[in-house]
Structure 1
Amino acid sequence: MDPLQVSLTVEQCWQPVPGGSGSYVAELTRALVARDDVQVTGLAARHRRDAVPDPAPAGRTVTSALPRVVLYEAWSRWRRPLAESAAPADVVHATTWAVPGTRCPLVVTVHDLAFLRDPRHFTARGNAWFRRALEIVRDEAALVVVPSDATRDDCITHGIEADRIRVVRHGVHPADVSPQDVAGWRRRTGVERPYVLWCGTLEPRKNVRGVVAAFAAAQAQGLEHDLVLVGPRGWGAEQEHVARAVDAVRPGSVRLLGRLSAADLQTAYAGASAFVFPSLWEGFGLPVLEAMAHGVPVVTSAGSSMAELTGDLAELVEPTDLEDLAAGLARAVASDAGPALRRLAAEHTWEASAAAHVGVYREAAAARAAG
């Protein structure tokens, strides 16, 4: 069987805050280029020669003559340029809401529909662009990849037929982190006490202010840990809101460390007593899977995509109930669920995710060939 030619969008890796979608693109392309049944070509916008994506997609990338803003608007408004004008393809895969025009079978990954659940968490321009992208997906996608049952259900609710949707979960590559690595990271960052970790982009739906308030309540009830917040600044005033919340907590007990390198982030996971991630909504919740892979007890939102990952091994809480969240923190730091969470995380590999993606590509191509 000849390798399938797949063009997929990788521009997310050049975004100032690539987020979980950027990690998905980088890890998926890395796993795909290791296979011999598919040949992938990344599609990106024009960038300066010294612009380095982080994380970086694997394999060959072709760049448009257009910068990102113009390219995305051209795709959204006029469905041009066609993806196959940059590289021949049997299938085109839009890995985010930036969906190229194409005459080839189109596969689109829908990570979440958070912009429909609470538009206040996004800019007016962003909401309009996401809604237009959803229209394109409904009209043009041969198949839609989603990372969770929660996102599948949202897609069905908003007009994408169930028979076009395929649930393909993300994977994880846990890094080997030694006690010496953790000790060195603690020295460099000044994190001396046992700590609870949160990781993500500072944006409203991540519920970081709720995490800080619940931590303060747990502290008042005897929690003897610090809280470490890591991740890039998002948009709007959330950074300032979180900073004010931190100021109201016992001095020195909450650390805002900003964006960490990939290696330092893995070390931060490994050294944590617990990981807290009570987002209001996530399409998947990759940080939860990463914490699980290090055997770290987890506090996360009940009834969410993250609860799909953890099952009843995590402390599942109502994210807006500060008392429930504070109690979950206290239980997590005393939990012995870490080894079971690590075993569960080991079932999620990027190799398995890539294999499932290839299956979707072949299904889309076969449907086109059948007429």
Structure 2
Amino acid sequence: MTPVAAFVSFRLGGNDGVSVAAESWRRVLHGLGFTTRTIAGEGPVDVIVPGLAIEAAAPPADDEVGAALDGVDLVVVENLLTIPMNLPASRVVARVLRGRPSILHHYDPAWQRARFLEVTELPPDDPAWRHVAINALTRNELADRGIAATTVYIGLDPDPSPGDRHATRAALGVADDEVLVLHPVRAIARKDIPAAVRLAEALGATYWLTGAAEEGYGPRLDAVLAMASCRVLHRPMPGTMSDAYAAADVVAFPSTWEGFGIPPVEAALHRRPAVVGRYPVADELRALGFRWFEPHDAEGVAAHLARPDPALLDANRAVAVRHLSLDRVTETLGAVLDEAGWLPVRAGGRDPVGAA
């Protein structure tokens, strides 16, 4: 019988980093011989458990989570046992998963966020579980806390759809000769919206922010956008992510903190220049070979736009394909599954998931 892997999180199926990474793992696990199920508090998923949502009024009952996991052989917990966005729900999920084959996929643990420093109960641990971190920084910090983890970088499709530049710009009302700076993020403080606006202003460009304000950032966002001296578009993508990158001339990502940073990698795969902040994991990714512009280097970005450097774009794409593709995730995640004895037999594992 084909084993079933379930993905569990606060929300899934969107354009946020956790959802994108979970989708890449879902594709990889399909290739390794699993069928999959998605379970979350919100989003276009297979099973909705309302109490898992970030803003849920009450956590789910143990039996409700257990019912959602009925028939599941392997559980992949996407950040829900890492960051206390809904701590009561995290406690329920941890309790239900005790002794059950599970991978805890860690993005940004509580100690990396000032507002969560007092929370020390996450992540939990259990002999039946394996821990995977999306970067070496978090893996090392987990080790300092007595939890052994493996780094599996986020992987993306190395050959994304090219997207429709003309149709997307037309839908946005952006002229052919208008420079468009794409900032494909949720509007929260650590995304450094003011730095992205300053970049667009310096380039004489239009600034396009795709995400809504969250975490109480709405009033600050309204003030920043109201003061902008450049044209501002604050609206969702009219099409796909590929369409958004096709429409853009520059991708802004001046974040002060990220667990990873998918947009600069997507920009590389779409052969777009990226402006990336100096958060710690960005330096880890730069060490792979990415050549990104600094947020203060508007002059360098302008020079590239005036006279594009194909070698830079080719080099960034090659780094993304070499280090951050679905094939690399298959290799590294497959090793984690094989060590645990959780690979399906037809994928080369020693025993089926959960076999004695």
| TM band (smaller chain) | 0.7 to 0.9
Match of 1:131 in 2: 119
Give the secondary-structure state (helix, strand or coil) at the position aligned to 2:34. Answer: strand
Match of 1:73 in 2: 59
| Distance in 2 of aligned mates of 1:170 and 1:342 | 15
Quote the offset at 1:203 in angstroms: 0.6
Choose which of 256, 259, 264 in structure 2 pairs with 1:283.
259
**Letter paired with 2:205:** H
Choose which of 252, 256, 276 in structure 2 pairs with 1:300.
276
Quote the offset at 1:45 in angstroms: 5.3
Match of 2:172 in 1: 189
**Letter paired with 2:132:** V
Q: Deviations over 1:257-312 (max 9, x none)?
A: 3222552x322212322212111111111111111111111111235323433445
Give the secondary-structure state (helix, strand or coil) at the position aligned to 1:131. Answer: coil
| Distance in 2 of aligned mates of 1:213 and 1:63 | 40
For this pair of structures, how many residues does the alignment match?
324
Q: Say which is worse superposed, 187-196 or 360-369, in terms of deviation.
A: 360-369
C-alpha spacing 1:131/1:194, structure 2 compared with 1 (3 Å): same
**Letter paired with 1:22:** S
Choose which of 205, 225, 230 in structure 1 pairs with 2:205.
225
Match of 2:130 in 1: 143
Quote the offset at 1:205 in angstroms: 0.9
Q: Does 1:339 align with 2:314?
A: yes
C-alpha spacing 1:369/1:177, structure 2 compared with 1 (3 Å): closer
C-alpha spacing 1:97/1:73, structure 2 compared with 1 (3 Å): same
Give the secondary-structure state (helix, strand or coil) at the position aligned to 2:141. Answer: helix
Contact in 1 for aligned 2:274/2:292 (Cα 8 Å): yes
| Distance in 1 of aligned mates of 2:127 and 2:239 | 36
**Letter paired with 2:135:** S
Match of 2:153 in 1: 169
Q: Does 1:273 align with 2:249?
A: yes
Match of 2:112 in 1: 117
Quote the offset at 1:68 in angstroms: 3.1
| Distance in 2 of aligned mates of 1:331 and 1:117 | 36
**Letter paired with 1:245:** V
| Distance in 2 of aligned mates of 1:106 and 1:245 | 43
C-alpha spacing 1:155/1:261, structure 2 compared with 1 (3 Å): farther
Q: Does 1:24 align with 2:21?
A: yes
C-alpha spacing 1:149/1:327, structure 2 compared with 1 (3 Å): farther
Gaps of 5+ in 2: 82-89, 343-349
| Distance in 2 of aligned mates of 1:5 and 1:71 | 30
Contact in 1 for aligned 2:76/2:103 (Cα 8 Å): yes
Match of 1:213 in 2: 198
C-alpha spacing 1:199/1:262, structure 2 compared with 1 (3 Å): same
Contact in 2 for aligned 1:106/1:141 (Cα 8 Å): yes
| Distance in 2 of aligned mates of 1:11 and 1:63 | 10
Give the secondary-structure state (helix, strand or coil) at the position aligned to 1:134. Answer: coil
C-alpha spacing 1:255/1:140, structure 2 compared with 1 (3 Å): farther
Give the fraction of aligned pairs with identical amino acids, expressed as a percent: 20
| Distance in 2 of aligned mates of 1:111 and 1:149 | 11
C-alpha spacing 1:354/1:87, structure 2 compared with 1 (3 Å): farther
Q: Deviations over 1:330-353 (max 9, x none)?
A: 465455211221222223323442
Cα RMSD for the two superposed structures: 3.6
C-alpha spacing 1:239/1:328, structure 2 compared with 1 (3 Å): farther
Gaps of 5+ in 1: 121-126
Match of 1:106 in 2: 102
Quote the offset at 1:202 in angstroms: 0.5
Contact in 2 for aligned 1:299/1:332 (Cα 8 Å): no
Q: Say which is worse superposed, 357-366 or 295-304, in terms of deviation.
A: 357-366
Give the secondary-structure state (helix, strand or coil) at the position aligned to 2:266. Answer: helix
Contact in 2 for aligned 1:228/1:255 (Cα 8 Å): yes
Match of 1:257 in 2: 234
Quote the offset at 1:356 in angstroms: 2.9
| Distance in 1 of aligned mates of 2:340 and 2:238 | 37
Quote the offset at 1:108 in angstroms: 0.2
| Distance in 1 of aligned mates of 2:172 and 2:75 | 43
| Distance in 1 of aligned mates of 2:280 and 2:257 | 7
Match of 2:334 in 1: 358
Match of 1:155 in 2: 142
